[in-house]
Amino acid sequence: MIFRRAAAQPTPLEGVDVVLADLDGVVYAGPGALPHAVDSLNRAQNEGRTLGYITNNASRTDASVAEHLSSLGLRVAPSDVTTSPQAAMRLMKDLVPAGATLLVIGGEGLVVEVERAGFAATRSADDNPAAVVQGFAPEVGWAQLAEAAYALATPPEEGGIPWVATNTDWTIPQARGIAPGNGTLVSAVHTAVGRLATIAGKPERPIFDEAIARTGAQSPLFIGDRLDTDIQGAKTAEMRSLLVLTGIDRPKQVLAAPPTQRPDYIVEDLRQLFEPYPATVVKGERTRVGDAVVEIDGVDLRIVSEGRPIDLLRAGAAAIWNSGRAIFGFRVPPQLYADPFRVR
């Protein structure tokens, strides 16, 4: 029998010089910190690693984000925070002349970055803007979306102006639950004008490039809670990624993740940044992680040994991912997609 061992670092932080973390669902949900997040990030910083924060939320400035994080007990300066509006301005500088007027669909965080980049901000399509930049803010409503549609009525191939969206997250976690995100607002404009926006934030590369430039990272680790934005974005930016199960995506999504959205590490919470990460051991049709063992038997994925819940999820995911088959090609036992990890 041939054994194949996956190379595993002692901990997810081994060899990492900069830890880059998403915010919503990783550090906090709503105004409050998630369990163990602040203590774990402070420990990483105390052990000599640089911390940086990346957020697709365009409603706040880097300074207000830093103030919020500081109030939770983290040591953060505005320069440690990379926002999707900053990434949008990185793109916009290549699309329109310096000092041009931009139609802003969004909140203060977006307006501040537009003006910081040397552009003029307007709220009206009647001001003949050179481009539209769109980002999330709770106050965005029909009137702002209509202005975007008016400004973008001419197709690009007929000389229409550029349209940059800070991000297209479909949802955003809040203290009361999951709420619609910027993707729903961008989709509304898309439906009206029949064209697509250029995306600056996760999962696209500009926001990661901006964070690397700010932190000088050589060997970063990105921590996120969403597969389709955080993990896919980190893979696009060619950096290691860690999925923490304190936010949006749950075990079902992990097991079904396509190759572009598979993290290097899966953890329950950020305390496991400091735990030895168990190797994935494959022997024939069996996959073992720690004491958890699963086996592929035709269309059945069987649990041979449960072990710790997190190791069982890691083993099940590895078995499905390494099989070359999609999850709908298996009968998966309920224990594998049970969710004992959800923050209560």
One domain, residues 95 and 188? yes
Note whether 263 and 324 are same-domain residues.
Answer: no
Q: Residue 9: pLDDT above 80?
A: no
Backbone angles phi, psi at 329, to 5 degrees: -85, 5
Q: Which domain covers residue 317, as residue numbers?
A: 278-337
The last residue of a domain, from among 180, 199, 218: 199
Residues 209 and 292 in one domain: no
Shared domain check, 306 and 257:
no
The per-residue pLDDT for range 33-64, each reduced to its tens digit, is 999 999 999 999 999 999 999 998 888 899 99
Q: Is there a domain that residue 238 lies in? A: yes
pLDDT, position 174: 74
- Helices then strands, each counted (H, E), the chain: 11, 20
Q: Could you tell me if 224 and 295 lie in one domain?
A: no
Residues 287 and 256 reside in one and the same domain = no
How many domains is the chain built from? 3
Q: Which residues have CB under 8 Å from 142's CB, separation 6+?
A: none
Beta pairing class for 28-29 and 81-83: unpaired
Verify that 104 and 194 share a domain, yes or no.
yes
Q: Hunting for tokens 């002692």 — which residue is that?
A: 10
Give the tens place of pLDDT for each residue, 143-176: 999 999 999 999 999 999 999 999 998 887 677 8
Domain-embedded: residue 77:
no
Which residues are bridge partners to 223 per DSSP?
A: 21, 242
DSSP notation for 229-282: IIIHHHHHTT-EEEEETTSS--HHHHHT--GGG--SEEESSGGGGGSPPPPEEE
Residue where a domain terminates, one of 152, 179, 199: 199
Q: Is residue 2 part of a domain?
A: no
> 107 versus 39: which is more confidently predicted?
39
Chain center to CA of 80? 17
> 142-151 and 182-193 are packed helices; what angle lies between their axes, rounded to 10 degrees?
40
Q: Is residue 239 in some structural domain?
A: yes
Tokens of 72: 């939770």
* CATH number, domain with residue 48: 3.40.50.1000
Same-domain status, 110 and 194: yes
Contact 316, 309 (CB under 8 A): no
The whole-model pTM stands at: 0.88
> Are 267 and 285 in the same domain?
no
Give domain status of residue 39, yes or no: yes
- Tell me: do 175 and 220 sit in the same domain: no
136/37 same-domain check? no
Q: Are residues 35 and 137 in the same domain?
A: no
Active site residues: 22, 24
Is position 130 within any domain?
yes
Residue 59 confidence (pLDDT): 85
- The reply to whether 305 falls in a domain is yes
* CA 337 distance to own-chain centroid: 22
Pairing mode, if any, of strands 28-29 and 32-33? antiparallel
Percent of the chain clearing pLDDT 70 (strictly above): 97
* Helix 206-215 with 84-92: angle, nearest 10 deg: 100
Average pLDDT over residues 166-188: 88
Residue 76 located in a structural domain: no
Of the candidates 246, 273, 300, which is a domain's last residue? 273
For residue 3, is pLDDT > 50?
Answer: no
